[in-house]
Amino acid sequence: MRNLLRDWQRELKRAFTGSSDALPDWVPRLAEGDDAGYHLPGSAVWAVHGSMPTIVAGIRTLLMQALHPAALAGVHEHSKYYEDPLGRLARTIRWIFTVTYGSTAAAQEASARLHRLHEPVQGSYSDGQGMQRRYSANDPELARWVHIAFLDAFLAAHKIWGGPIPGGPDAYVREWAQAGRLMGVENPPLTEAEMHRQLDRWYDNGELRADSRVEETVAFIRNPPLHPLLRPGYRIMFAGAVYSLEPKYRQMLRLRTPRLGPFPLPVKVATKVTLGVVHLALGRRSPSEVAARQRLRRLGYFTDS
């Protein structure tokens, strides 16, 4: 049993960091730097990104982003997502945690790295009206969709399964707007209400689309090539992500909240229990947060609370 638990913890770490043993080299470097960065302990961003519902939020983000044909074309035509989904996940987590916990220079460098990776991601797609359009991963409006789908997912999951957000949801949207600016988003939303207005604009204008390519992507997100030890928990997390979707987007994706066995716990409860187990396995604080607190203590901030 101990060996099974150890193997499960190892696979969890590998899923989130790309390594089952040593920490990725970028994590200890978050202790470096000469300023506090864009976000501090006690901020809305630290509260949301330091909590376990981010796992469900990540799945929901992928489901939502699949509805934009330009975003999906970029993934299909330029990404190794299907070949190496955990590698792509680890790279995304690296950017999120570096902007959340790193110094200003580290956050800017990580965002510049993403811009460089996105430069060749260009092509054409058929929009919701069947018209051919060009896309570029560095296009500010496409970056806006990715940013807002992220915000929407992380807020929704945290409201259901997370704790209080310092300053409330508006504070989180306002604080994470800096991440949007780093990725080229012009005038990102600063309130939850404005975020929802901008999100619904794509839906109302018919710019989102659900077709066979979306169905293929959803099928992959539902059943990615995970280690067998991770699959039962992931199934519950996926159900939680579907549960958290607004009905109109769930309908577009042709998803229904799955039943979790013949005598299931409600999805909301099952997800909460699973997140608690993962929290126990991974520890109270992420290594990224620990490294950030080391930097902040060195710079004279009080971060032991």
Long-range CB contacts (< 8 A, 24+ apart) of 228-234? 229/4, 229/7, 229/8, 229/11, 230/8, 230/11, 230/12, 230/15, 233/274, 233/277, 233/278
Which regions of the chain does DSSP assign to beta strands (E)?
122-126, 132-136
Reference 43, options 283, 245, 296; nearest CA is 296
DSSP label at 34? S
Residue 241 is predicted with a pLDDT of 96
User: Residue 94, exposed/middle/buried by CB under 10 A (0-12, 13-18, 19+)?
Assistant: buried
At 98 the pLDDT is 97
Per-residue model confidence (pLDDT) at position 6: 66
Q: For the chain, what are the domain ranges?
A: 2-298
pLDDT of residue 168: 98
Contact 107, 38 (CB under 8 A): yes
Say if CB 52 and CB 275 are below 8 A apart: yes
Q: What is the pLDDT of residue 279?
A: 86
pLDDT at 24: 83
The whole-angstrom distance between residue 160's C-alpha and the CA centroid of its chain comes to 16
Q: How far is CA 171 from CA 41, 102, 193, in A?
A: 14, 19, 12
What pLDDT score was predicted for residue 96? 96
Parts of the chain with a pLDDT under 50: 1
The residue to which tokens 């470096």 are assigned: 32
Residue 137: predicted pLDDT: 80
| pLDDT tens track for 191-211 | 999 999 999 999 999 889 888
For residues 160 and 120, give the distance between their C-alpha atoms in angstroms, rounded to a whole number. 38
Q: Tens of pLDDT along 29-56?
A: 999 999 999 999 999 999 999 999 999 9
